[in-house]
């Protein structure tokens, strides 16, 4: 498993302290992050692959400083966003997955094999030539996941991947996330998604207030928001 | 180009995109220069043969040409009045052939192949123009059409729900704000996918 280290990390946005002096070491296979809106959980997740740079402290992934080695870190860390529509670039499903590999300079056969494998992994092979923007919400989120997996990252970070989906699609997407081999960091409001995880971190007003096994952490979070 | 591609394994599908673009440009130029109805008839037969070779279903092929027929329904009578029936026929055939050829290209060529072709074309000029960047810009332009269409549709629905159907402000402000926000999210997603320079 990879190792993600937050060392005294803070982030200030427009004079507001969004993340306040967080220190964590994440080595577990599946880690959940929960918290109310504005608690800093999405900002924390975005720091893992350098989408957000801390204003104080340091984030390291497998020893690499994210601020200095952003490109190398992003090759190791795939990111799935809440709204898959924002992640789709190319017109068809297959082309969108292949788009991720454009900068990888693979030969055509290797790239096609990886695209096919990623589509099969998320069950989208039958829809490979369909227009990506006409997929259902759940299918779009699976496409976003395939677009990440095709790069074969060591870590997958997902920021509320099921928030915009109905219950059935959310369950389907969650099932795919559960079977990933990669280290998985999931930010979510849907607590049942995190029940089988190895560790859950609860954030409030930019700070880590609970860091425990899911049962204890989720109970603490329910008490916090009650 | 968006959502038009019809997958297949025909000779036309398998032809390199760059070669298809070259043939498309040459044929459209030739058709624009031809003034004889007989030669335009020959060009029409060539187009039909290309469609047959592509094995694209007739219904899908006709859908590519249908929009231009509406234009011709107005333009042909005007041309007949001012230029005579022969000039009207030449104009109509030129337009139909050009649109059909462009449609055939879109039906048989994935967008990614077109982007690769554009990048290959720009490679000799890489000292001045970054082909990857141009390819990415084209991909984003194509992507933004359905994205903006969906955004405008949602805002128009919201405007209607609030009873402000006629208000330009109630359409323009949310569309601009959401378009800017979407572009920010899209940029973030591109960085996350390794397009970070």
Domain with A33 in it: what CATH number? 3.40.50.300
Q: Which two tokens stand for residue A91?
A: 């017109």
Coil/strand/helix, residue A86: helix
CA A123 to chain centre: 19
Say whether residue A69 is in contact with chain B using an 8 A CB cutoff. no
Q: Which two tokens stand for residue B196?
A: 């970070």
- Inter-chain touch B195–A70, beta carbons under 8 Å: no
This model of the complex carries an ipTM of 0.75
- Inter-chain touch A133–B147, beta carbons under 8 Å: yes
Residue A165 DSSP one-character state: S
Say what the pLDDT of residue A88 is: 86
CA B182 to chain centre: 23
Say whether residue B186 is in contact with chain A using an 8 A CB cutoff. yes
Tell me the torsion sign for CA atoms B96, B99, B102, B105. negative
| Nearest Cα to Cα of residue A79 among A40, A42, A37 | A42
User: Which whole number is the average pLDDT over A82-102?
Assistant: 88
- Inter-chain touch B112–A83, beta carbons under 8 Å: no
User: Which whole number is the average pLDDT over A81-91?
Assistant: 86
Say whether residue A129 is in contact with chain B using an 8 A CB cutoff. yes
Q: What angle do CA B109, B115, B116 make, to 5 degrees?
A: 90
Selected residues 5-64 of chain A with any CB under 8 Å from a CB in chain B:
49-51
Q: Which residues of A touch B194 (CB under 8 A)?
A: 71, 74-75, 100, 103-104, 151
Mutate to test the interface with B, among A49, A102, A125, A131 (most CBs of B within 10 A): A102
Say whether residue B5 is in contact with chain A using an 8 A CB cutoff. yes
Across the interface, which of A98, A134, A147 has its CB nearest the CB of B112? A98
Whether B196 has a pLDDT exceeding 80, the answer reads no
The answer to whether A196 and A178 are in contact (CB under 8 A) is: yes
Q: Which two tokens stand for residue B16?
A: 């390199």
The sheet with strand A16-26 has its strands ordered as A16-26, A4-13, A56-61, A64-65
Whether B2 has a pLDDT exceeding 70, the answer reads no
Closest chain B residue by Cα to residue A134: B3
Q: In chain B, what are the domain boundaries? A: 11-109, 124-192
Closest chain A residue by Cα to residue B150: A133
Q: How far is A220 from chain B (nearest CA, A)?
A: 32
Say whether residue A134 is in contact with chain B using an 8 A CB cutoff. yes
Q: Which two tokens stand for residue B72?
A: 């011709």
pLDDT per residue as tens digits for the range B116-158: 888 888 888 888 888 888 888 888 887 788 788 888 988 888 8
Say whether residue B148 is in contact with chain A using an 8 A CB cutoff. no
Say whether residue A136 is in contact with chain B using an 8 A CB cutoff. no
The answer to whether A95 and B9 are in contact (CB under 8 A) is: no
Say what the pLDDT of residue B135 is: 81
| Nearest Cα to Cα of residue A165 among A179, A151, A176 | A176
Say whether residue A131 is in contact with chain B using an 8 A CB cutoff. yes
The answer to whether A8 and A57 are in contact (CB under 8 A) is: yes
- Inter-chain touch B193–A51, beta carbons under 8 Å: no
The answer to whether B122 and B136 are in contact (CB under 8 A) is: no
Say whether residue A85 is in contact with chain B using an 8 A CB cutoff. yes
**Total structural domains within chain A:** 1
User: Which whole number is the average pLDDT over A137-157?
Assistant: 93
Cα atoms in the Cβ-side hemisphere of radius 13 Å centred on B141: 9
Which residue is associated with the tokens 């916090």? A224
- pTM, entire model: 0.79
pLDDT per residue as tens digits for the range B34-44: 889 999 999 99
User: Which whole number is the average pLDDT over A115-135?
Assistant: 91
Say what the pLDDT of residue A14 is: 82
Say what the pLDDT of residue A87 is: 85
Q: Which two tokens stand for residue A86?
A: 């924002």
Burial label for A65, CB within 10 Å (0-12, 13-18, 19+), is middle
DSSP strand pairing (A77-80 vs A199-204): unpaired
To the nearest whole percent, how much of chain B has pLDDT over 90? Answer: 44
pLDDT per residue as tens digits for the range A153-196: 999 999 998 888 888 888 888 888 888 999 999 999 888 889 99
The answer to whether B119 and B134 are in contact (CB under 8 A) is: yes
Round the CA-based radius of gyration of chain B to a whole number and report it.
21
Q: Which of A215-224, B53-62, B130-139 has the lowest mean pLDDT?
A: B130-139
To the nearest whole percent, how much of chain A has pLDDT over 90? Answer: 64
Phi, psi at residue A50, to the nearest 5°?
80, 15
Distance between CA atoms of residues A211 and A184, nearest Å: 16
Say what the pLDDT of residue A158 is: 94
Say whether residue A68 is in contact with chain B using an 8 A CB cutoff. no
DSSP strand pairing (A30-35 vs A183-187): parallel
Boundaries of domain holding A179 = 4-225
Whether A52 has a pLDDT exceeding 60, the answer reads yes
User: Which whole number is the average pLDDT over A98-121?
Assistant: 89
Across the interface, which of B1, B7, B189 has its CB nearest the CB of A86? B189
Whether B1 has a pLDDT exceeding 70, the answer reads no
DSSP strand pairing (A183-187 vs A64-65): unpaired
pLDDT per residue as tens digits for the range A2-43: 999 999 999 998 888 999 999 999 999 999 999 998 899 999
Say what the pLDDT of residue B197 is: 64
Mutate to test the interface with A, among B154, B194, B195, B196 (most CBs of A within 10 A): B194
Mutate to test the interface with B, among A82, A84, A91, A129 (most CBs of B within 10 A): A91
- Inter-chain touch B143–A91, beta carbons under 8 Å: yes
- Inter-chain touch B5–A92, beta carbons under 8 Å: yes
């Amino acid at each position: 498993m990879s190792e993600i280290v937050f060392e005294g990390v803070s982030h200030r946005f427009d004079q507001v302290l969004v993340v306040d002096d967080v220190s964590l070491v994440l080595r577990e296979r599946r880690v959940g992050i929960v918290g109310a809106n504005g608690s800093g959980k999405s900002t924390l997740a975005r720091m893992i692959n350098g989408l957000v740079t801390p204003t104080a402290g340091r984030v390291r992934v497998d020893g690499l400083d994210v601020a200095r080695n952003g490109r190398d870190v992003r090759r190791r860390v795939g990111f799935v966003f809440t709204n898959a529509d924002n992640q789709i670039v190319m017109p068809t499903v297959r082309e969108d997955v292949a788009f991720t590999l454009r900068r990888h300079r693979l030969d055509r056969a290797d790239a096609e094999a990886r695209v096919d494998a990623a589509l099969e992994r998320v069950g989208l092979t039958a829809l490979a030539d369909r227009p990506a923007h006409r997929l259902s919400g759940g299918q779009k989120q699976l496409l976003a996941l395939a677009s990440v997996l095709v790069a074969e990252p060591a870590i997958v970070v997902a920021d509320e991947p099921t928030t915009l989906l109905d219950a059935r699609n959310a369950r389907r997407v969650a099932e795919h996330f559960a079977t990933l081999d990669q280290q998985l960091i999931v930010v979510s409001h849907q607590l049942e998604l995190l029940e089988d995880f190895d560790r859950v971190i609860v954030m409030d007003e930019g700070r880590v207030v609970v860091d425990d096994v899911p049962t204890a952490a989720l109970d603490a979070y329910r008490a916090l928001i009650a | 180009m968006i959502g038009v591609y019809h997958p297949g394994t025909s000779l036309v599908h398998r032809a390199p995109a760059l070669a298809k673009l070259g043939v498309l440009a040459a044929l459209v130029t030739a058709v624009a220069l031809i003034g004889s109805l007989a030669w335009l008839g020959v060009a029409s037969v060539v187009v039909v043969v290309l469609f047959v070779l592509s094995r694209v279903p007739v219904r899908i092929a006709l859908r590519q040409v249908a929009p231009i027929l509406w234009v011709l329904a107005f333009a042909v009578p005007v041309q007949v009045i001012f230029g005579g029936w022969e000039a009207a026929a030449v104009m109509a055939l030129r337009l139909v052939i050009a649109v059909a050829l462009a449609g055939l290209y879109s039906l048989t060529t994935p967008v990614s192949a077109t982007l690769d072709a554009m990048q290959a074309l720009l490679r000799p000029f890489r000292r001045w123009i970054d082909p990857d960047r141009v390819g990415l810009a084209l991909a984003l332009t194509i992507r933004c059409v359905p994205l903006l269409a969906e955004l405008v549709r949602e805002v128009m629905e919201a405007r209607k729900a609030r009873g402000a159907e006629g208000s330009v402000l109630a359409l323009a402000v949310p569309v601009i704000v959401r378009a800017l926000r979407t572009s920010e999210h899209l940029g973030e997603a591109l960085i996350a996918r390794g397009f970070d320079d």
